[in-house]
Structure 1
């Protein structure tokens, strides 16, 4: 098609005569190109962004229902992370990732940003990235732009900054020049990138290690001819910028800085794509303890280490012991390997990671009353990965045991078994457990009774009697308990999970008020999340 003639008004050349008039000149110019737009068929609905189908995860068609988005956003923004329970973490991740219509009283894109920001603060870099990828970039709000920058850095993915480069320039002015340089380098414009780095060095507001790392990323582009040496000695702490750019170029962060890093940053480090499995292993344990990594993810990491280890060195490694726990020739050898892997870890997250690592191998051990000393750890390991039916097979063997180990194993099965009738949950058995409980202020007993009552495995009359007799604190009431009960009555499973995370924030399970456990489990059960409720309750007894 021929371009249409576009009339253009221009002044005539100054050659004397009357210069006040304006001549009409017609030029045959093509029309200006249209602005870049998303095709209509590629548009995503900003009101329904998510990566999981809520019905498949026990959340119903609409996890939020009539909840106030402003209220939920405030809860999520103020939540202290990480939270105490690994299973509560995983349940909340599912709710935040659910593809469901945004609640009322909130901008839909800002709602996605709040969810992604909480996921990042939980250590869930990949989950946050999936949410952000579900929103068209031309709809990004200032809040979404800020969260997207943090997500790109947490994911060790500077190229993810380039589609929103213009918005970064408006909302993140401190790093604008450096982002422009990085994107120019990645776009194959080394001269422009080098000039921008040089200009940032002379006039920019960011210098030191932050500028050096940006220059290193620029140097990774094609035909830049720039190489830099990164000196970590003057650096006292890690930031999102330092972490993201360093790991994007395959740099191993100094142990001095990683030793003081938050658990969430370790979770980011555990999945950094350019680092070796050995470099990521310690952080992967932390990520697994938090709930970011699954049991299978940690096993896969160990499998990589096994494949890359010299055969002569294998017998001294945990990767070898893990293999023996699965494929040793006899049951005694498999059990011995399990004992070595489980060990006696002092750190709570490390201990949970080792339990998750051998969870599937633990299901291969046949229940036996003679294994009373091993039963609690084997049951804990299975429940860490959700093998509740395999764990329940130990019920008969545990009933034949008679010591503190039997109490620990029985308490977990009383809470986690799919069929409550398979375990003795009589009033007398419960009081026997409480009378032998040596924990501080009988915290384990309080969590046990709270769990049984919240799951509906003992009636309200028994719960009240036990609470009054032993002073377990189940009757505590405040604004949080009222809110979670109201959310359960209204059938809002997503709201219940967020409130559960709020109740479990900033404290360990051995200090969690029993009333919080009771109300959380009661609300989860009432909103159809029985499995999560059972696993949270059993985890509390496993970790205290």
Structure 2
């Protein structure tokens, strides 16, 4: 059977079975998921910036973002319903935003954004991103409406292999078999990739195919293997996940078809990335507590979390939290545990006798944005202590005094290389405007830190903030906060991030980024 002929014959079958009148088609002038009242930025959040510049900024986020809170802010901005900029096709603008969301581990968010564009407005790039977004959410059926257009836009093997898959999902098993044979003959896909396609076809209506998937000899991870494997109940093994970037753990933790054990294995990374909130983590652990199939280790941790929330005395609850905080020497898992216990920490009443644990409790609260709960400890913390520093940058108001003496005391206790924590603290209090000019200048002199240096990036983010471009500032903040960990973070960048976010009305986000900087260094 000629493959080109088969594709043509199936076009009508795979096209959506409805059409929209011109009046019902969605506008390309503004595209997004979140309105301002639901957490998005204003429609003019990128001002008059050109599309080529904005897409280049987004593409400039090539590495991981060190700050969880910066990632959370960037997700909101990329999902916001905003004016489509000039000098770029609106569909390509959506594709750039959705692709970055995928790289951040936000598979569901990426797919929801792609779905805001009508199929007849797709570009080759948006077809490509749509494919990846649906694979990342293990949703092969969702790709089917795009297959005809995808094949016209690209000769990628994935589109060809989706012909028989989609025919099967529509109950057209004869056509599916013919197309699959043609793909095998032409070696469009081979090995595990071909077998996963065949297994997906077997999952279609009246599929009647029994395909065994063996991962033992598979050496590489790709989105096809992730998406079709999870969609058909044959999840890739942990050794293949280990070959993938951390963003895949964000996809994994959000996949409802996976066992809770698997999702828990991904939860630490996903929460540190900002994909998983405190509430979502607690819900996941609560489900694990009641699931008979969950491993004993996860059961024990779920039980410990329950104690952190429900044990009788403050000390008993803090001991349970400490057991979770100290469950691993891995810094990522340790930080994830602080997010997990945030609301348990917020329920501890401020008391002098708990002063030794105050910095850890505050770090936990602020990891989930519980700043008002944290502020209750303002009269308990000692000037110059870790707890004082967290409140100096994280509290919603000037809860503690920030003067040269307290800054100097903090610096005297700082044992990080190059006094990095002191430099980050100075950058944050200066950016947030929480210390007077003289105190900032004196402490900067002690640390030999020059906050007046400039670069192309500092000029760009300052210029965008002066124009009130919330979206541009948030994207530039993410550009400036790339790195493997907080040791890669420049204090100068933190100063400009906190200052510009505050200027455009995102002071709360600036404070949480600053508190995170101190908690994670």
Q: Which residue of 2 aligns with 1:218?
A: 201
> Is the CA contact 1:50–1:99 (under 8 Å) kept in the aligned structure 2?
yes
Q: Render the CA deviation track for 1:13-46: whole Å, top value 9, x for unaligned.
A: xxxxxxxxxxxxxxxxxxxxxx963133431111
Q: Which residue of 1 aligns with 2:434?
A: 457
> Is the CA contact 2:40–2:76 (under 8 Å) kept in the aligned structure 1?
no
Q: Which residue of 329, 334, 355 maps to 1:351?
A: 334
> Is the CA contact 1:249–1:274 (under 8 Å) kept in the aligned structure 2?
no
In the superposition, the TM-score normalised over structure 2's length comes to: 0.93
SS of residue matched to 2:391: helix
- Higher mean Cα deviation, 288-297 or 46-55? 46-55
Q: Which residue of 4, 11, 26 maps to 1:44?
A: 26
Structure 1: tracts of 5 or more residues without a match: 1-34
Q: Which residue of 2 aligns with 1:132?
A: 114
In the superposition, the TM-score normalised over structure 1's length comes to: 0.89
Q: CA RMSD in A?
A: 2.0
> Is the CA contact 2:221–2:243 (under 8 Å) kept in the aligned structure 1?
no
Which aligned pairs between 1:143-154 and structure 2 lie closer than 5 A? 143-154=125-136
Q: Render the CA deviation track for 1:50-105: whole Å, top value 9, x for unaligned.
A: 11113654734421011122111011113123200000000111111111111222
SS of residue matched to 2:209: coil
Q: Render the CA deviation track for 1:413-462: whole Å, top value 9, x for unaligned.
A: 10001111x20211111111112211110110100000000001123343
Q: Which residue of 167, 181, 185 maps to 1:198?
A: 181
Q: Render the CA deviation track for 1:378-402: whole Å, top value 9, x for unaligned.
A: 1111001100011111111112xx8
Distance 2:448 2:223 in 1: 46
Q: Which residue of 2 aligns with 1:14?
A: none
- Higher mean Cα deviation, 502-511 or 142-151? 502-511
Q: Which residue of 2 aligns with 1:528?
A: 505
> Is the CA contact 1:306–1:314 (under 8 Å) kept in the aligned structure 2?
no
Q: Tell me: CA distance 1:103–1:230, structure 2 relative to 1, closer, same or farther (3 Å).
A: same
- Higher mean Cα deviation, 330-339 or 78-87? 330-339
Q: Which residue of 317, 323, 337 maps to 1:340?
A: 323
Deviation (angstroms), 1:477: 1.3
Q: Which residue of 1 aligns with 2:153?
A: 171
Distance 1:465 1:72 in 2: 38
Distance 1:536 1:245 in 2: 37
Would you say how many aligned residue pairs link Structure 1 and Structure 2?
504
Q: Render the CA deviation track for 1:503-524: whole Å, top value 9, x for unaligned.
A: 0013422231111000111110
Deviation (angstroms), 1:374: 1.9
Deviation (angstroms), 1:311: 11
Distance 1:235 1:118 in 2: 28
- Higher mean Cα deviation, 126-135 or 334-343? 334-343
> Is the CA contact 2:288–2:294 (under 8 Å) kept in the aligned structure 1?
no
Is 1:467 the equivalent of 2:449?
no
Q: Which residue of 2 aligns with 1:542?
A: 519
Deviation (angstroms), 1:466: 2.2
Q: Tell me: CA distance 1:337–1:178, structure 2 relative to 1, closer, same or farther (3 Å).
A: same
Distance 1:175 1:117 in 2: 17
Distance 1:253 1:287 in 2: 18
Is 1:330 the equivalent of 2:307?
no
Structure 2: tracts of 5 or more residues without a match: 1-16
Q: Which residue of 2 aligns with 1:71?
A: 53
Deviation (angstroms), 1:314: 9.2
> Is the CA contact 2:371–2:396 (under 8 Å) kept in the aligned structure 1?
yes
Q: Render the CA deviation track for 1:286-338: whole Å, top value 9, x for unaligned.
A: 11110011111111111111111389969961111111111223333322221
